[in-house]
Chain A
Amino acid sequence: MNIRRRIFTVVSLFALATIAVVLWAPTVGSTSISLPRVFDTTIPWHENVDAQIFFVARLPRVLSGAIVGASLAAAGVVLQAMLRNPLATPFTLGVSAGGALGAMLAIAFGLEVGMMGVSSVPIASFTGSLVATAIVYWLASSRKRGLSTNVLLLAGVTLNSFFSALILFVQYMADFTQSLRALRWLMGDLDVGSYTPIIAALPFVVAAFGVFACLPRTLNLLTLGEDVAAARGVEVVRTQRLAFLSTSLATGAAVSLGGPIGFIGIVVPHLVRLMVGSDHRIVLPAAALFGAAFTVLCDLTARTIVAPLELPVGIITALIGGPFFLWLLVKKS
């Protein structure tokens, strides 16, 4: 099959499946609602419980799940290709740990610096991600040869451990109820409750995806080795810089929106590769779409399985993603 046609077919199939999930998810939940009533404009807003459950409780959750899932999965694909390391995740380079530390500080010190309807925790988390990105970038950039992926990886992993220790320290020093809140934040939560945090995260995610869109062909060459890529005319250092900064932006925005939801960034890229092969022109968009659908479905499970209680979404992503991935791995090998 012509490669263009194959890209179009595969990506369209993933897109259709994702759209179906995103449209279906808000209609299901712990309460049963009537769709005709949801869209009945003759009922005043303050009396229409069904419409409120749909638009206030479920839709923002589904949308934030889709954004977080797409961002983490796409960032995972880019980082694995750029670092040529199948174990790389959006959380490997310390960005999410920086975000988590920011959130912990905001929770522990009761920071109240909300801006334009976004509360202090996501703002502090995003700031933490940016600080971590800047530190890792500064460490890995040398004047002589640009960006070293080895240093990037090592600096990221070390910074991750360092930030994790600081997170534990802040939690340990915090008040008991604050520690509980902090711990809960680390498990991931998509019940954002309004559209404001989504709108605030969107520009960064869009900018990151704008960069991702230019990367697939270069990533294909980079996976063969930096020298091969350079010989084929790839501006290796520039690509690595762009890839690192855009994945950091996407990860920072995703973590500030839903907390550090684990497993999506590593499992989804590999799952998609097992399904569609390793051409990044297909893997990157397919992983973003699959990540969105996967996260929305995990959150759907989290909010319905023990209703009216709910489970943290991070637990579900790992519980479903892990065995599913292992099954596919065994089946394919």
Chain B
Amino acid sequence: MKSACGLRLAACGGRFATCGLRLGACLVLLASFAPAAQSRPQRIVSLVPALTEMLYAIGAGPQVVAVSSYDEYPPEVKALPRVGALLDPDTERIISLKPDLVMTYGSQVDLQAQMKRAGIPTFDYRHAGLSHILATMTELGVRTGHATEADRAVAAIEARLAAVRARVAGKRRPKTLLVFSREPKTLRNLYVSGGRGFLHDMLEIAGGDDVFNDIDKESVQVSIETILSRAPEVILELRPEEIPAGLPMQQELASWARLASVPAVRNQQVLFISGHAVTVPGPRIAESVERMAKALHP
């Protein structure tokens, strides 16, 4: 029928023939997309811990069949098979699990090409700002057949963030240095948040002014001199593990004590926030922002 239509149009002249071919192509394309949009992936492999957390938060957890070697949350993932991570994805293992959707990081181009060759669809993701986390959750909802739950989860996070914004509104925003990595017990190899990325966005919502606002980078390696000259009023250090009170905490604070002229050091405003959740750009950000806000504005 379609081709008959095209042929008939072709008989009417070249212009119409093109028209008919386009129409045909559109119909074919629509036909090929329709089932994909309806089908709901049942065997998802996630190589990105942040995406795994999102999948569980939007109710797609039972569809996840394998995760990366760095996945720790939610506790259910501990029972799942591991298939490598960012730099060492185990392609063979991934294919053998017969996934119908693989969550990859944007830079895993080789893996994405291999999946394409194997006919396995991928969901490519890159860390970006806080709004991107929420947009990704919504997108994942549509892709995995959990659009409503995703919208609900996103709305809940937005509500908590709005509550934090309201709580800190009008309060003085301290100049804050957000540290997320350094050599233990020294001030060497200091990595801090720059003026971009989810950590920066979280700090801004929590009512702090990032001292490295002007540097358009997610992570910045800074020297001691720069910290002294920027004089932060609060130093907020994110740590994966809890620092035990007593001697270990004293040693950590002693490293900062050398910078006596920094207001944060002088006024004992070197604060620690511990736990893996703080540095994962996933659905637990609302809780992390609340903790940051509590530290900055007790």
Contacts and interface: CB of A to CB of B under 8 A. Distances in A.
Interface string A108-146: 001010100001110000000000000000000000000
A57 interface: yes
B184 A45 contact: no
A191 B182 CA distance: 12
A281 interface: no
What 4 pairs across the A-B complex have the smallest Cβ distances? A57-B225, A31-B229, A46-B260, A57-B224
Interface string A82-120: 000000000000000000000000000010101000011
Nearest to B212: A308
Given A46-B266, A57-B225, A119-B184, A176 B70 contact: yes
B188 A58 contact: no
Interface of B: 70, 85-88, 181, 183-189, 212, 215, 217, 220-226, 228-231, 251, 255, 258-261, 266
A194 B181 contact: no
Interface stretch (A8-16, A48-56, A267-275): A48-56
Interface string A179-221: 0110011000101111000000000000000000000000000
A267 B241 CA distance: 44
Interface residues of A, number: 37
B136 to A, nearest CB: 20
B247 to A, nearest CB: 11
A58 B183 CA distance: 19
A110 B226 CA distance: 27
B189 A193 contact: no
A30 interface: yes
Given A46-B260, A53-B228, A310-B221, A193 B184 contact: no
Contacts of B70: 175-176
B229 A184 contact: no
A260 interface: no
Nearest to A179: B87
A110 B258 contact: no
A111 to B, nearest CB: 9
Interface of A: 29-31, 45-49, 52-53, 56-58, 110, 112, 114, 119-121, 172, 175-177, 180-181, 184-185, 189, 191-194, 303, 307-310
Contact of B184 (A46, A112, A309): A112
A52 B259 contact: yes
B189 A56 contact: no
A303 B221 CA distance: 11
A181 B221 CA distance: 11
Contacts of B258: 56, 193-194
Nearest to B85: A176
Given A172-B88, A308-B222, A181 B228 contact: no
Given A172-B88, A191-B188, A191-B223, A119 B229 contact: no
A169 to B, nearest CB: 12
Given A119-B184, A172-B88, A49 B228 contact: yes
B188 A193 contact: yes
A49 B261 contact: yes
A184 B219 CA distance: 14
Given A46-B261, A193-B258, 13 more contacts: A30-B223, A30-B229, A46-B266, A47-B261, A52-B260, A57-B224, A57-B225, A114-B251, A176-B85, A184-B189, A308-B212, A309-B215, A310-B222
Nearest to B194: A309
B221 A30 contact: no
A160 B283 CA distance: 46
A190 to B, nearest CB: 10
B184 A181 contact: no
B225 A181 contact: no
Nearest to B260: A46
Contacts of B220: 309
B28 to A, nearest CB: 43
Most chain A CB within 10 A, of B187, B188, B220, B258, is at B188
A56 to B, nearest CB: 6
Nearest to A312: B221
Contact of A53 (B212, B229, B266): B229
Given A48-B261, A52-B260, A194-B258, A30 B225 contact: yes
B225 A58 contact: yes
A176 B48 CA distance: 13
A131 B231 CA distance: 42
A308 B230 CA distance: 10
A176 B49 CA distance: 13
A172 B69 CA distance: 13
Contacts of A31: 225-226, 228-229
Contact of B185 (A29, A46, A114, A310): A114
B183 A57 contact: no
17 contacts: A30-B223, A31-B225, A46-B261, A49-B228, A49-B229, A53-B229, A56-B259, A112-B184, A176-B70, A181-B181, A181-B183, A184-B221, A191-B223, A193-B186, A193-B258, A309-B217, A309-B221
A49 B251 CA distance: 23
Nearest to A57: B225
Contacts of B261: 45-49, 52
Nearest to B248: A112
A215 B215 CA distance: 50
Given A192-B188, A193-B186, A194-B258, A177 B225 contact: no
